[in-house]
Amino acid sequence: MSALANTSSTTAIAQNLLAKKARLVDSISDISVTTRIDYNLRFTKQAVLVVAEHTEQYSQLASQFLVTLSSEQPNSKQNTSQDNHINVAFVSASTKLNDIQIRCRLIEQLFVNNLFDPEESLAVSALRFAKQQSEPISIVIDHAQALSLQIKYELSQLVNLAKKNKLTINVVLFGLTEAAQQLSENKTLFKSKVVLIDAESGQVLSLDDKKIALEKKTHSLGLWQKLTLIGAMSIITGALIWLYLLIVDDVNQQTNISKAQATQVINTAQSPNNETKIVNDISTRQMLKKEKIDQIVASPMVSTTKEYKQASSGDVLKALLVDSRAAQEVAVPAQAEDVLQALVTADIHNKNETKALISGTKTPTHQLDESGNIQQSRDGADLNYYQTNAKEHKQGYIIQIAGFSDPKLWKRFIKHHDAESFYSYRRLLANNEFTVVTSKVYFNKAEAKAAISQLSPQLLERKPWLKPISSVINEINTFTR
């Protein structure tokens, strides 16, 4: 019996010791957090944020801290008022309170009967009143996670400015870990201005601590989401294949149509019954093209009106004889070989006309013969006129009169202004050949500018402009490459 009694008593003593130890640990934990807050307020002089994972943890610490502030009394042995924390403001933050309401509650509790601007930052208004009263101030805010980032920054800035002005302003915030996460996301604003304290252990946390870091949630796709994604990709792939087949089918149809048209043209050209029709179609197209060119050339700047003279009796007789001879002619259907030969001859003639327009080889006072070809100039100037004058007049200028992309229009213009001494050269404009009509090369810009005023009114209506001879040489060299 005695041994059993001793064993039970020993067990009871051990349980009592464990219970006391647990209470001692709790009390030490509470004291360590409060002590840690007081230490940072006294020595680091930064705003303090106490965070916890549950509301009950930090709310209980906030109540204990308020009791500690209210129980402190001024120390009569000290001359300074650093330890007198009678002026305290407490706000229980909520999402229903905006920034202006938070500022109003803090200022009204700290500085009674003082007018202030609620839209002004706390770092400005509270600091101004603190300088006037020169007494320690303590601000305690519960549920700090409900505060906006702006208010948190104003409070941390208030403590920092008070430290520089040698004032005692203590700011202690209590809230969930969300408040610390918000500071961690904007750590450049709160670096060296806010101290984080863990409500459970009392340890100081850094803004980069893993405990307050945001957890990156990775969402894995469900089975139905995967099936939906595969179905969408299959639909898109099918649509692309269908579109590709349509394009290929269309290209094949166009190729077959082109081959059929080419075969029909060859057969038609070989058929003697349609030779007259082919000749008539070619003549009609040439007449329409000529009419279109005449409409383009007909402008107010170039007069196309002709003066008609009264015909003499000899002219009338000659016309009647020509008409009678033409009436006696019998139309003979052209052969297919004649039509093809005429088309080839016209093509060669057009190519020869284009090659005749060589860069910088157009001489002043152009003359055209009856067939419209260019003849040699009356003064026999050098074909390399621009290159020669560019060497003699390095600072020379020319007057650009006009420009034509159609050689026929250029010939009409030269023929109409046969009395003028114009030069021409070829250049590229938008990857197309372009004929430029200019004046002679002048010694300098002033001389060329004075020559513009001496041009005829019809040429002045084209708004001629000056161009350095170096630019002309560059355009010629670019065209002849």
Q: Is residue 282 part of a domain?
A: yes
Q: Is residue 371 part of a domain?
A: yes
Q: Is residue 319 part of a domain?
A: no
Q: Is pLDDT at 157 greater than 70 in this prediction?
A: yes
Q: What is the pLDDT of residues 444-454, one digit of tens each?
A: 999 998 998 88
Same domain, 347 and 412: no
At position 181, the amino acid (one-letter code) is Q
pLDDT value of position 367: 43
Q: Is residue 10 part of a domain?
A: no
Same domain, 250 and 181: no
Which residue spans within 53-153 are E strands per DSSP? 88-92, 137-142
At position 435, the amino acid (one-letter code) is T
Q: What is the CATH number of the domain that holds 405?
A: 3.30.70.1070
Q: Is residue 312 part of a domain?
A: no
Element (DSSP H or E) covering residue 315: helix 313-328
Same domain, 290 and 396: no
Same domain, 93 and 163: yes
d(CA 206, CA 287): 91
Q: What is the pLDDT of residues 51-66, one digit of tens each?
A: 999 999 898 998 888 8
Same domain, 60 and 196: yes
Percent of the chain's residues with pLDDT above 90: 28
Lowest mean pLDDT among 122-136, 146-160, 258-272, 320-334: 320-334
Same domain, 28 and 68: yes
DSSP one-letter string for 357-416:
--TT-BPSS-EE-TTSPEEPPTT---S-HHHHHHHH-TT-EEEEEEEESSHHHHHHHHHH
Which residue spans within 71-205 are E strands per DSSP? 88-92, 137-142, 169-176, 194-198, 204-205
Same domain, 233 and 135: no
Q: What is the pLDDT of residues 337-350, one digit of tens each?
A: 665 555 655 554 44
Same domain, 362 and 454: yes
Bridge partners (DSSP) of residue 362 are 424
The count of domains in the chain is 4
Same domain, 31 and 42: yes
Same domain, 123 and 230: no
Same domain, 184 and 259: no
Question: Which domain covers residue 350, as residue numbers?
Answer: 276-303+331-356
Same domain, 26 and 163: yes
Q: What is the pLDDT of residues 457-472, one digit of tens each?
A: 888 888 898 999 888 8
Q: What is the CATH number of the domain that holds 56?
A: 3.40.50.300
